[in-house]
Amino acid sequence: MAEMKDGCVQPVKGPIIAPVPAATASEAQPIKEVVRMQAQVGKEAPDFEATAFVAGEGFKPVKLSDYKGQWVVICFYPGDFTFV
């Protein structure tokens, strides 16, 4: 992955969600996109892309699906500089 062009503000890529099929004209209504939990054991992992700090490399975009074909562990935690 290429080194990202850095700036103060970067768009948050976040989850990569398959687009909802366009509604037909007769049922066309404004659809409010609601993001909700999708991760389930035994189901495909929800893909995402985000900017990362990588030791020795700096800042770069990282996409989960770039690791397809190998085992991956992803760890969420409440915040840097917290206590546990």
Partner 1 sequence: MAAVAALYGEFKALGVEVLSLSTDSRFVHKIWQEQELSKMVEGGVPFPMLSDAGGKIGTVYGVYDAAAGVDIRGRFIIDPDFVVRAMEVLTPEVGRNPAELIRQVKAFQHVAKTGEVTPSGWEPGQVTLKPGPALVGKVWEVWKP
Considering all CA atoms of the chain, what is the largest pairwise distance in Å, rounded to the nearest integer?
A: 55
Interacting residue with partner 1 among 3, 7, 15, 27 (CB under 8 A): 15
Residue 31 contacts partner 1 per CB under 8 A: no
The reply on whether position 23 binds partner 1 by CB under 8 A is no
Q: Is 74 in the site for partner 1 (CB under 8 A)?
A: yes
Alpha-carbon span 24 to 27, nearest angstrom: 6
| For partner 1, the closer CB: 27 or 44 | 44
Q: How far apart are the C-alpha atoms of 24 and 29, rounded to whole Å?
A: 9
- Residue 19 binding partner 1, by CB under 8 A: no
How many residues bind partner 1 (CB under 8 A)? The answer is 45
Q: What are the two backbone dihedrals, phi and then psi, of residue 81, each rounded to the nearest 5 degrees? A: 65, 20
Alpha-carbon span 64 to 51, nearest angstrom: 11
Chain contacts with partner 1 (rule: CB under 8 A): 12, 14-15, 17, 35-46, 48, 50-55, 59-60, 62, 64-65, 67-82, 84
